[in-house]
A and B are shown apart, each in its own frame.
Chain A
């Protein structure tokens, strides 16, 4: 079997087994969506207004939870060295890991989002926009996150510094994603915002394997 897909299947299996990150990310996302109405009040009009932004921020934070382990586990038990020695270029390794992370968190969060949108009283049109924006935008979270994960992979407490590094870089995704939902709520076409979001995602997915591979290489002492 192709080493790219072997690695992808392995990482997805690890994420979905017990103690894996996929379920934790989904629970975290749902919990954020539960806590926010407790904090801001149960006014359904207000919740509809802030829903898009809250769910976007929640999705980014939920995807962040498992990011610090993206390379770290393999680095600590030595398998990252073996993966680096395999014929698969390190750039494609990074891409496979990003893709696995996206499938186990970003895609799962996207699928869950319509249900949470219901809790926030979003209109059907806004729910559809939220779904599309998460579908288009969460790959950027995994891609930019992979850069941060690879930079901090040798750190014992990398999970603490990771958000500081990547959250500012992810602000465009939140702006365009939540902005698309707001536009829909105001009965405007969200196409422009979604297009910009897709462009940001495409750029991030295209460029970040190189940055991530470079920093894995330097951490392996190459």
Chain B
């Protein structure tokens, strides 16, 4: 665990991210560029026609949104159990990206739903659970913003995030019990054609790298902001 706590010190994190950030940023641009190019050149699907393009924008957004909640959950655990100071900042910083990816997934899903299902919105299991996920992100951010004392806000938000983690599988199960129209999983089971699989995987990697880069950038910004505030108050940085 030692490596984990070395980065509890913001200074060490700043040094590491200073090196990593340009690399992940370039990799993001490469992945998204290549993925989009491949996405535009795939043959049209025999059923879905050219709307299959949305696959490469929609699915990675959903995956990135779930990853963002996972990141918040891990940060929350670190901050509650080990009082890891950097993970407080990291959890808070990840939430807006999670909300945006969720919203992007919902919007692209709605645009895809119109030609395929004949309507922008259906009360289908997967759509509904993503809508609820969006509200979970909103609640997490609202709690963070509502409590003024940062240490308390961090721990309260961490408790909420962990309660959410326990509840998310139940929500998913209950919503699936309730209604299902969305197609099932087709990547791991190998039902997707390879010509679509490769651009999809590259786009997923691109979205993840985008999330990680923006996340690091945001954490860095918060740390710098705190340093600036400490300096302005005349204390030692």
Give me the interface of A with B, judged by CB distance under 8 Å.
144, 147, 151-152, 154-155, 157-158, 161, 164-165, 167-169, 171-172, 175-176, 179, 196, 200, 203, 207-208, 211, 214-215, 218-219
B143 contacts A168, CB within 8 Å?
A: no
Interface positions of B from 169 to 198, Cβ below 8 Å from A: 170-171, 173-175, 177-178
Can you report 18 residue pairs joining A to B where beta carbons are below 8 Å apart? Answer: A147-B159, A147-B163, A154-B147, A154-B152, A155-B146, A155-B147, A165-B143, A165-B160, A167-B135, A168-B171, A169-B136, A169-B163, A169-B171, A172-B174, A200-B170, A211-B162, A215-B156, A219-B152
Q: Is B100 an interface residue (CB 8 A)?
A: no
Report whether over half of chain B's contact residues are helix, strand or loop; otherwise say mixed.
helix
Write the chain B residue with the least CB distance to A163.
B139
- Which A residues are in CB contact (< 8 Å) with B167? 169, 172
Please tell me which one of the listed residues A164, A203, A218 contacts residue B155 in the complex, with CB atoms under 8 A apart: A218
Report whether over half of chain A's contact residues are helix, strand or loop; otherwise say mixed.
helix
- Which A residues are in CB contact (< 8 Å) with B1? none
Range of interface residues on chain B?
20 to 34
- Which A residues are in CB contact (< 8 Å) with B178? 175, 179
Please tell me which one of the listed residues B146, B155, B164, B174 contacts residue A152 in the complex, with CB atoms under 8 A apart: B146
User: Please, how many angstroms separate the alpha-carbon atoms of A218 and B132 in the complex?
Assistant: 27
A164 contacts B139, CB within 8 Å?
A: yes
Number of A-B residue pairs at CB separation under 8 A: 76
Please tell me which one of the listed residues B139, B147, B170, B175 contacts residue A165 in the complex, with CB atoms under 8 A apart: B139
- Which A residues are in CB contact (< 8 Å) with B174? 171-172, 175-176, 196, 200
User: Please, how many angstroms separate the alpha-carbon atoms of A77 and B171 in the complex?
Assistant: 37
- Which B residues are in CB contact (< 8 Å) with A168? 132, 135-136, 139, 171
Q: Is B142 an interface residue (CB 8 A)?
A: yes
User: Please, how many angstroms separate the alpha-carbon atoms of A172 and B166 in the complex?
Assistant: 13
Q: Is B13 an interface residue (CB 8 A)?
A: no
- Distance in Å: Cβ of A193 to nearest Cβ of chain B: 8
* With A172-B170, A218-B155: A151-B160 Cβ-Cβ less than 8 Å: yes
Write the chain A residue with the least CB distance to B173.
A172
- Distance in Å: Cβ of A64 to nearest Cβ of chain B: 14
Write the chain B residue with the least CB distance to A167.
B135
